[in-house]
Structure 1
Amino acid sequence: MAALEAECERLVGFGATRLRRDEPAPPPSAGYIVMADPEENEFCSD
């Protein structure tokens, strides 16, 4: 998840907004982050 968090921060630098982080049941490395671009289109980073 550390690489995913780093990618999230990079995308925020380009204008994206972090909406939430979802982590399903184990394994914990299988989570994803839901984000939105500057036009409010949602996308997932995993």
Structure 2
Amino acid sequence: MGKTYDGLHRISFLINEQGVIEHVFNKFKTKDHHDVVLNYFKQQA
């Protein structure tokens, strides 16, 4: 039909206390999202 489809884009934002976006998570699968976020926090410590 001439249309292209790019699929679903899942994106999560980590927002700090001041309301500023601190990090964008865009490469994850739904079942692994919590691991991606926890690993980010472990790397920051």
TM superposition score category, shorter chain reference = under 0.3
Greater strand content: 1
Max Rg structure = 2
Q: TM-score, normalised by structure 2?
A: 0.26
